[in-house]
A and B are shown apart, each in its own frame.
Chain A
Amino acid sequence: MDSALIPKGVKRCPLWQFILLICVVGAVLLWGVYAMLLCWFKGLNQTNMNDAYGFALWIWADLAVIAVGGGAFFTGLLRYIFGKDELKNIINYAVLIGFICYSSALLILAIDIGQPLRGWFIFWHANVHSMLTEVAFCLSCYFGVLTIEYIPLILENRQIDRVPFFHHLGHNMHEMMAVFAATGAFLSFFHQGSLGGVAGVLFGRPFAFREGILIWPWTFFLFTWSAAACGPCFTILITKITETVTRKKLVKDSAIELLAKISGWMLLTYSIAKTADTWYWATVTAPSMGQTLMDFYSNNPLYGIWILILEIVICGFVPAAILITKKGRKNSLALWIAITLATIGVCINRWVMVLQVMAVPVLTFESWFMYFPSWQEIATTILPVAYGVILIAISYRYLPVFPNEPELNPIETLPAEEEEAVEPSVELEQELKPAEA
């Protein structure tokens, strides 16, 4: 029924299956939307946040999706600026994932603030000294860039592309993509960094505070670095999951391996830098404020030193070691483990830099603060996941997201009824060409 919309040369599941999937995931989405409306209309009392946990699950989710969404800027950077051509096979999907992550982040922020209707004050009454201002500006701008990067893909939908205006628009946008990729990389560098800065500048919180260069604490650079390292891993992870679900190979191994290798090296260097940072913090910064490393990891029911080991060693050095070795990258299971660990690692890092920051007592006469999110928080956090699944499903079905797909999954006989007059005829060739984002 919807075959006219499906890209040429690929096979998709029956429409009813697709609709069923959308309905199931849509139900989850609606649950999240309900929780979101509760938060907007009744206020943040719907959450379990409190005056000690001003930042909680949402801000973690925000930082985490932005970190894993970092695959978009970094892959774009490699593809357009460093000319890693091979990555053209995965760049569309990286952009799509990035778009989902960033739109989710903005949505979460809109729910998270106490006065959503005044959210724009952050732009109108901007305080240039605030890391959050930097985050807001770069995030919004970069979201704009991602939208621009995503639009040509939409325009490549078979039906839309038939409209000459859109056809040309898409074409022209492709031409300029390097400029946007560069802008995006620049913006991304700053907002990933400023998200790190959000915690790092808190000089009242010895657990979070880091020294740095000029106005940028080390966490600024570490956040960018870790997003660049782990974002692509997440892109690969989602690609692998998509391949598993669709039971198709969608991206050439060469593209995956190249991205995995670069990620591996980024992750290794990041882990070394993170270790050095932790070392300096534990031996110089924190003691100067009267605290020892173990003060931050004891006397509470959750946060033990295990979390540091898990984050840096198990989710840092271990996946890095797998990814930088050819054998590791080529072994499917090892690759799966590495990209999963790397993704978990960056999420733990963001958790620690948001939630543990809130949990550690600073006044000597306070004790650890523990918190468990309310269902409204959980629902609204799952909301973007559902939204992401739906957007991926739709995009995958109707847009030429994976340029390698027809090549990797050749269709023997094209059903006759799908044949339609296509004009102009040049389009035909283009259909089979990898889409460029």
Chain B
Amino acid sequence: MKHKKAKKYGMVIDLDKCTGCGSCMVACMAENNVPFRKDESDKLLSITWMRIYKLTNGKPFPNTDICYLPRPCMHCEGQHEGHSPCVTVCPAIATDYSSETGIVSQIYTRCFGCRYCMASCPYHARYFNWWDPVWPDGMEKYLSPNVSPRMRGVVEKCSFCFHRYQMAKEKAFMEGRRKVEEDEYQTACTQACPAGAITFGDLNNPNHTVYRMVKPDPKHHGRPTNPNAFRLLERLGTNPKVYYLSSREWIRRAGDNYLKSESIAKKPAHHE
């Protein structure tokens, strides 16, 4: 019998198309019952599973350029499957790597809030619930039953809208299918992006758009072979499953640290 190949869900964000509009950010908050507070201007205390960074090329007027970079959780694979920076360090297995989907989960009721995972994540993709989540009277009506609201004292992060995968799988099962089609499981941010800058799918499936967009190299932990594609901090060996596309060299270079003497083309990876 043919062995069923595991899925490896991933995301490609086209930075040429991304306008920094913030829809992905808010779609995520609305989808995932993310709480909010009266003052959210301290970004180090503000829970945004999807955060949009504004990059500048640092050149003076009028040669200035800016670029927006949306950053969900990278669902890092690490050097071998499941060796994500955060998953390996969690002492209570409150965050885990799914070998079925490649998704890094977060189990709020297991997490006891040591924040080691946050220290380990170079992307600052993890957020701590410093406060009890409070919705103004009546607003809790819009909370979705598909995602449990988190209590104070635990860490949360982008789940690749895992509940949508579960629902899609359930639906397929009810209809007597085993396969979840590409369009059946799409994340909330992908769906909402007005610019169509986000693409989501199975990086192990050559028929999926994400695969065709980046052409991941299986010999190098999925490193993209499309010259315009890159991953954030590729050299750390975190092997993210979120890829970025940009036609601009300075943006691709901003995706990683390079010594002055290095050219971006070389891309030496640390762990090889």
Contact = CB atoms under 8 A, between A and B. Distances in A.
What 8 pairs across the A-B complex have the smallest Cβ distances?
A114-B113, A114-B153, A290-B257, A54-B115, A204-B122, A54-B118, A50-B44, A132-B91
Contact of B88 (A45, A114, A115, A130): A130
Contacts of A130: 88-91, 116
8 contacts: A51-B126, A115-B154, A121-B112, A122-B91, A125-B93, A289-B235, A291-B259, A363-B53
A43 B130 contact: yes
A113 interface: yes
B85 A203 contact: yes
A210 to B, nearest CB: 12
Interface stretch (A15-23, A241-249, A364-372): A364-372
Contacts of B123: 204, 363
Interface residues of A, number: 52
Interface of chain B: mostly helix, strand, loop or mixed:
loop
Interface string A48-59: 011111110000
A52 B42 CA distance: 11
Contact of B232 (A50, A53, A363): A363
A295 B154 CA distance: 32
A124 B109 CA distance: 14
Question: Max chain A CB contacts within 10 Å: which of B44, B119, B154, B262?
Answer: B119
Question: Max chain B CB contacts within 10 Å: which of A115, A124, A129, A366?
Answer: A115
Contacts, number: 166
Contacts of A198: 89, 116
B110 interface: yes
A206 interface: yes
Interface of chain A: mostly helix, strand, loop or mixed:
loop
B114 interface: yes
Contact of B119 (A126, A202, A292): A202
Contacts of B237: 203
B270 interface: yes
B129 A362 contact: no
B124 interface: yes
User: Interface extent on B, as a size class?
Assistant: 35 or more
A380 B236 CA distance: 36
A51 B123 CA distance: 11
A114 B42 contact: no
Nearest to B76: A204
A159 interface: no
Contacts of A129: 88-89
Interface in A120-155: 121-122, 124-127, 129-133, 136
B2 to A, nearest CB: 32
A287 interface: yes
Contacts of A50: 42, 44-45, 130
A395 to B, nearest CB: 32
B195 interface: no
Contacts of B89: 129-132, 198, 201-202
A51 B155 CA distance: 10
B258 A358 contact: no
B131 A45 contact: yes
Contact of A204 (B85, B115, B255, B256): B85
Contacts of A43: 130-132, 152-153
Given A54-B128, A113-B114, A126 B152 contact: no
A154 B45 CA distance: 47
Given A54-B128, A363-B124, A289 B236 contact: yes
Contacts of A112: 114
Nearest to B84: A204
B107 to A, nearest CB: 9
B148 to A, nearest CB: 15
A201 B233 contact: no
B55 interface: yes
